[in-house]
Structure 1
Amino acid sequence: MFKVTVPATSANLGVGYDVMGLAVDLYLNVEFAAQAQGVTILGGDPKFQNADNLIYQAFKKGCAAIGKPVPGVQMTIDCDIPDARGLGSSAACIVAGLAGANYWFDSPLDDTELLALATEMEGHPDNVAPAIFGELTATIMNGKQPVVAHYQVADKWQLAVVIPDLPLSTAKARAVLPKSMSYAQASYQMGHCTLAATALERGDGALLQAALQDQMQEPYRASLIHGFTEIKSLGQQLGLNVLISGAGSTILAIGQDERKLQRFLQVAKREHPTWRCQQVAIQQRGAQISALQEVAEA
């Protein structure tokens, strides 16, 4: 028996659409145990306690990539990552299943190979990369192969999430985006994405504030998230960087003054009492495995 722990992830970070992602300290925990055959799923949403479960589908894909038959497995799920809120819930499930299969068979796959498999399942690498590597990642596709850069983020950053009580599907959030952009828009976005990664790495607040001015997706998606404009305005008044986490509906705030961040959360909670509002921290490590007892190869 062993446990896989995968962090939540905030993709895009405004200007890094489908490229950048940041791991934060909300978690999916999955315990894997051997059983005679088939799959038993405990915990989590009852409607996913079956063989269609995304974690189990990823587990099977990992077994196939390793060239091993799928063993009988019991999975016990404990998840603090809300579904369809732009915090990488599907990426966490995929990474957990792949990492579980890899560990089951003595870890023949390295993180780069796990990233390729996870990207194939997820369709894009911006969430799965930080879920595997931790902290901040930037990932591009070289043909069908993801290529990732991992950044060590300065420890002075303070983060908070405001999680609305309504989900927002990635498909709906992608549908509102324009199909093309001009060279001028592309140049703007590339420059701001590059500087945002540098600012997070250096801990440069002024540079981050200048860099996180997105023109590619936030202007189109903002109207899909009730209250986003007001929450963003509140953050700006406090000197915080406020952006849509992934496809939404979660709103991410980044700053360096914890008192301002706490004030931001207090006002957001007062205005939206049913929303989940909390401080989070950057998670330095990606998926982790802890052995609970020896697992026999099936």
Structure 2
Amino acid sequence: MKIKVKVPATSANLGVGYDCLGIALDAYCIATFEEIEHGLEISGCEQAYCNSDNLFYRSFCAALEYMQKKVQGVRIHIDSNIPTARGLGSSATCIVAGITAASAMFHNAMNKYEIFDLAAKLEGHPDNVAPAIFGALCVSFMEEGHASMIRYGIKKDMHFIAIIPNYEVKTEDARKVLPTQMSYHDAVYQMGRCAAFAKALEIGNMLIVKKACKDKMQEPYRKQLIPEYDKIRALCERFGADTMFLSGSGSTMMALTREEECAMQLKKQLQIQYPAWDLRILHATYDGVQSEVL
């Protein structure tokens, strides 16, 4: 049996939604999983990852164990245009693809909530895997070791300008720079803006998007890992973007606008100033992971 899985890229945190907000975007990882007589064959990625430590494979095996199923061997081919280690959910796509493929190989033995719960355990947090599975904008959290989420809508005419540097920011380094405590005053500041920002994205209220997306919890500390951060923010403001935030822990920065001309002009200017960077105009997608039998 051969299974094709398509998983969207994701952007987590969205500035004020540290470890709880995530959105699905229209860049994709496509992977095929084919049962073979024995062994493991992996193609479409760097040779260093073509082994049993591959995250697609480890997630596939974790799902088999969960379902108490076995396969003799598997051939995996990966075709992804999601950059790795840039804050666009590349590890979440691997995990979600592997689990979904295993489930599909046994006639969708796991429902989406089981896939979500297992994926969150493997990823360590649910903010990226939730939109990768369910699509759109997701708010998620862990409760007694299990993942929960609720899905928001989002205006489809929003343009997410992904500004992807040619270097990575390691999640470990991004975690290290964060303080271990915050005041009640800052917690109240953050909670109000997080709730307002999620609703503003759903209804397309760009005034509230602009006001609410001012983070105190992680971006003031993580921006030091991205030398160009302040220059990029000033450029986004100059060309009329409503806000800019780090995607995940970086290094990708994400500008947001509903004006197509603004998005095009900002991308053009960024291409001139940072020709070695990957620059994309993305849009939210309501479609999470999809699978089909080939």
Shift of 1:34: 1.5
What does residue 286 of structure 2 align with?
284
The one-letter code of the counterpart of 1:209 is K
In the TM superposition, what are the counterparts of 1:192-203 in structure 2 within 5 Å? Answer: 192-203=193-204
* C-alpha contact 2:35 2:71 (8 A) present in aligned 1: no
Deviation track 1:240-287 (CA, whole Å, cap 9, x = no partner) reads: 111110000001111111111111111111111100111111121111
Show the counterpart of 1:86.
87
Q: Tell me if the contact between 1:60 and 1:70 (Cα under 8 Å) persists in the aligned partners.
A: no
2:43 corresponds to: 42
Q: Indicate yes or no: 2:165 matched with 1:164.
A: yes
Tell me, what secondary structure is at the counterpart of 1:243? strand
Q: Structure 2 matches for 1:260-271, cutoff 5 A?
A: 260-271=262-273
Which one-letter code corresponds to 2:273 in the other structure? E
Superposition pairs of residues 187-226 of structure 1, within 5 angstroms: 187-226=188-227
- Give the letter aligned to residue 143 of structure 2: N
- Cα distance in structure 2, aligned partners of 1:122 and 1:33: 24
Aligned to 1:98: 99
Residue 274 of structure 1 aligns with which residue?
Answer: 276
Q: Post-superposition, which runs of at least 4 consecutive aligned residues in structure 1 deviate over 4 A?
A: none
Task: Check conservation: 2:138, 2:151, Cα contact below 8 A.
Answer: yes
Larger mean CA deviation between 121-130 and 236-245 belongs to 236-245
Deviation at residue 181 of structure 1 after TM alignment = 0.6
Shift of 1:223: 1.2
- Residue type matched to 1:225 in 2? I
| 1:237, distance to aligned residue in structure 2 (A) | 2.0
Structure 1 gaps, min length 5: 293-298
Aligned mates of 1:38, 1:152 — CA distance in 2 = 43
Counterpart AA for 2:275? P
Per-residue deviation, residues 52-95 of structure 1 (Å, max 9, x unmatched): 10000000000000011244110011111111100000000000
Aligned length: 292
**2: CA distance between counterparts of 1:135 and 1:45?**
30
Distance, in Å, in 2 between the alignment partners of 1:20 and 1:228 is 21
Matched residues in 1 for 2:35 and 2:124: separation?
30
Contact 1:30 1:76 (8 Å CA) reproduced: yes
Equivalent residue, structure 1, for 2:147: 146
TM-score scaled by length of structure 1 = 0.96
Unaligned runs of 5+ in 2: none
How far apart are residue 2 of structure 1 and its match?
2.0
Q: How does 1:175-190 map to 2 (within 5 A)?
A: 175-190=176-191
Length-normalised TM-score, structure 2: 0.97
Deviation at 1:155, TM superposition (A): 2.1
1:117-162: per-residue Cα shift (whole Å, max 9, x none)? 0011100100000000011000011111111000111123111101
| 1:155–1:203 CA contact under 8 A, matched in 2 | no
Q: CA RMSD in A?
A: 0.9
> Is 2:21 aligned against 1:20?
yes
Counterparts of 1:94-133 in structure 2, within 5 Å, are 94-133=95-134
**In structure 1, what is the Cα distance between the partners aligned to 2:108 and 2:40?**
21
Deviations 1:173-232 (A, max 9, x none): 111000111111111111110001000000101011111010101100111012111111
Work out the CA distance in 2 between the residues paired with 1:127 and 1:50. 24
Amino acid at match of 2:224: S
Deviation at 1:19, TM superposition (A): 0.1
Q: Is the 8 A contact 2:140 2:148 kept in 1?
A: yes
CA distance in 1, matches of 2:136, 2:280: 19
- Secondary structure at the aligned position of 2:18 is classed as coil
Identity fraction in percent: 40
Q: Secondary structure at the match of 1:17?
A: strand
Instruction: After TM superposition, give the deviation of residue 236 of structure 1 in Å.
Output: 1.5
CA–CA distance in structure 2, aligned partners of residues 226 and 53 of structure 1: 31
